[in-house]
Amino acid sequence: MSGYSFPVLENREILECMSELGCAMTEEQLVKPSPDHITRVMEQLLDIFMGFSADDNAQMRFSGIDVFDHPELHEFSVGQLAFNRSIMKLMQASGVHDFSHKDLSKPEYPRIRKIFSAVINFAKFREEKVSTFEQFVEATENLQNEKSVVDNKFEELTVQLHQLRAQRKQEEPIIQGLQQENEKMEEQIKSLNVEQSNLKAKIHEMKQHRQELSDKRDHDQFALLTLKTEVSKL
């Protein structure tokens, strides 16, 4: 943090930015700061950045105060100690490492200008980080939503797969019966193919035999005709 730096802003920009933060003030209050006003502004800044309000400060004054012998002497110091610790944390985070109680009890314009410039710069840095974080959160939520959609689809497909497996298991006997019947039909087809092949061979053989008989008949008829012709010549 020792190398942390920030620009010292002009009065106009300080007043505008502090107003945007909810800590409105006049230029006179900035240029001529008073302890009471600066303390109130610091309380507002603590409430904005650290959630430490004036009510919390007052509550801490009374919480556990009874442990002291003279509580009335410590009522203010307990709350003031908590306030000082919180404001130191804010100043350290803003880069003001030389902040002291004097900046509250005897505030001076150059110091207050520097402190407010640092806090404003820290606020802008914090806003950027918050915006980046919110974008990251949004992206994470989108991914989570997409994951939920994928998970739901996966569960849906898993249910469908189980249903298909159950259906297949129920239909398995039918499928096996059809497969067995198909195998029988294939055997019958093979047997018929063999029988058909044998019949084709027999038909071919019969055709050849018929052709031989036809040829023999034609030969015998021709021989008979020749014989008749020769007999008629005698």
Task: Kindly report the number of other CB atoms within 10 A of residue 48's CB atom.
Answer: 17
Q: pTM for the whole thing?
A: 0.51
Q: How many domains does the chain have?
A: 1
Residue 212: what residue type?
A: E
Res 132: pLDDT: 67
Residue 227 resides in a domain: no
Residue 188 resides in a domain: no
Question: Quick one: which of 42, 44, 43 has its CA closest to 22?
Answer: 44
- 170-198 burial by CB neighbour count: b if 16+ within 10 A, else e? eeeeeeeeeeeeeeeeeeeeeeeeeeeee
Res 126: pLDDT: 84
Res 60: pLDDT: 46
Res 117: pLDDT: 95
Residue 108 resides in a domain: yes
Residue 170 resides in a domain: no
- Using one digit for the tens of pLDDT, what is the confidence trace for 45-61? 999 988 876 555 555 44
Residue 211 resides in a domain: no
User: Which residues of the chain fall short of a pLDDT of 70?
Assistant: 1-4, 53-79, 130-137
Res 130: pLDDT: 67
Residue 199 resides in a domain: no
Residue 61 resides in a domain: yes
Residue 233 resides in a domain: no
Task: Kindly report the number of other CB atoms within 10 A of residue 62's CB atom.
Answer: 12
CATH of the domain at 48: 1.10.418.60
Res 61: pLDDT: 46
Q: Give dist(CA 199, CA 22) in Å, integer.
A: 110
Full residue range of the structural domain in which residue 102 is found: 11-139
